[in-house]
């Protein structure tokens, strides 16, 4: 579930994550609003399985995120240029919703997708190297889809990564 800035600022909401200290990835992304579909530039911080966003890049201990996504709840992180008709666009999908982002460059987009994808896998469950990434050959030019293995396991499906 995605929580936005209008909700509680209780530090427990952030799972005790010290988002201001040694994040796995940070940077500016343009994010589409959850209810009003306007685009806003936000500072994003990825740390310990959570993707936080802030209005400003000066993130400290007293900063309050505008929102947070627990990436373990995400099923995919993939390019979305075709969906949005915007360059450097990508999406994060959960069972309930899809969030859209635009990076400043193709490299930034790929770096975010890879970082979020790694975090999805690391925080979903313990996996072996052969299960890390599912490559889908007919997904477009080239696509990587990160799978929520715990969801597949609950459904009783045994799935292995394809190379």
Domain spans, the chain: 3-124
H/E element holding 25? Answer: strand 25-32
- Fold category of 3-124 in CATH: PH-domain like (2.30.29)
72 — pLDDT class (breaks 50, 70, 90): confident
Residue 150 is predicted with a pLDDT of 54
Answer whether residue 60 shows pLDDT above 50.
Answer: yes
Tell me the pLDDT tens digit for each residue of 9-55.
444 456 678 888 899 999 999 999 988 889 999 999 999 999 999 99
The number of C-alpha atoms within 13 Å of 129 and in the hemisphere containing its C-beta is 0
Tell me the pLDDT tens digit for each residue of 79-123.
999 999 999 999 999 999 999 999 999 999 999 999 999 999 888
Contact 63, 20 (CB under 8 A): yes
pTM to 2 decimal places: 0.70
Q: Residue 127's Cα: distance from chain center in Å? A: 19
Tell me the pLDDT tens digit for each residue of 136-157.
343 433 444 455 555 545 544 4
């Amino acid at each position: 579930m995605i929580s936005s800035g209008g909700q509680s600022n209780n530090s427990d909401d952030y799972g005790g994550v010290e988002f201001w200290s040694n994040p796995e990835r940070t940077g500016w992304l343009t994010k589409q609003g959850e209810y009003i579909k306007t685009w806003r530039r936000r500072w994003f911080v990825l740390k310990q399985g959570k993707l936080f966003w802030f209005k400003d890049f000066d993130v400290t201990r007293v900063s309050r995120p505008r929102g947070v996504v627990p990436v373990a709840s995400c099923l995919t992180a993939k390019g979305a240029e075709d969906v949005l008709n915007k360059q450097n666009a990508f999406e994060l999908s959960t069972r309930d919703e899809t969030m859209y982002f635009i990076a400043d460059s193709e490299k930034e987009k790929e770096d975010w997708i890879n970082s979020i994808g790694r975090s999805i896998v690391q925080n979903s469950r313990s996996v072996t190297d052969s299960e890390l990434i599912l490559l889908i050959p007919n997904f477009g030019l080239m696509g990587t889809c990160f799978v929520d293995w715990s969801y597949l396991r609950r459904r009783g499906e045994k799935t292995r990564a394809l190379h």
